[in-house]
Amino acid sequence: MSNYGEEPRDEREPVQSVNKNRALLIFVLVVLIMTSSILTLMENNTQTIKFNEYVSLYNETVKDITEQAMTGLSLTKGYAEGYSEVWSNAIKTAELDIDFEKIKESTAKDNVLVEMAHAKDRIDEKMKKLKNHPKECKEAYDTLQALYDKYCSIYVQAQTVNQVSSDFSMTLENIKSSKPAEKH
């Protein structure tokens, strides 16, 4: 059924063309689905890595806060015990000749205060990073924030005890130099 001078047409040509187009379309869809799946897996893997890094930093921060809080409590206790013993002896003997060297020995922790300040700076940096927590870590972060607040109180107390004890020692030295002498 071709006209004179025309080459005969293959009746299967439109079907083959449609089949080729369908095959190409299916191939493109398969590639898109596979690419989407691979990207989803990569995103999930990235989120898992970030979550695990967050958990690791969280655990490290809890450890650091706990260690530094214990150091601060120990330091504060050391100052209190040193002054308590010295003052107890001064009261018993009714003398103001207080052995400041003994207090300094029991509280010779100035380098600890410096290290505590450096540790606090490191902990502060970690807490800033931990603010951007995953949604499922909100409760853990809030609990850590409460622990951090307590730690800050202990830190301030340790720093304050050191300052108060220095001020106290200076004032006591002034008392010793201005103490009236008994008349004979």
Instruction: Give 45-104 as a DSSP string.
Output: HHHHHHHHHHHHHHHHHHHHHHHHHHHHHHHHHHHHHHHHHHHHHHHHHT-----HHHHH
49 pLDDT above the threshold of 80 = yes
High-pLDDT (> 70) share of the chain, % = 64
- Output the pTM of the full model: 0.60
Q: Which tops the pLDDT comparison, 128 or 93?
A: 128
What is the per-residue pLDDT for 130?
A: 94
154-162 mean pLDDT: 82
What is the per-residue pLDDT for 83?
A: 65
CATH of 54-178, one of 1.10.3470, 1.10.30, 1.20.58, 1.10.287: 1.20.58
User: Which residue in the block uniquely carries the two structure tokens 């504060």?
Assistant: 76
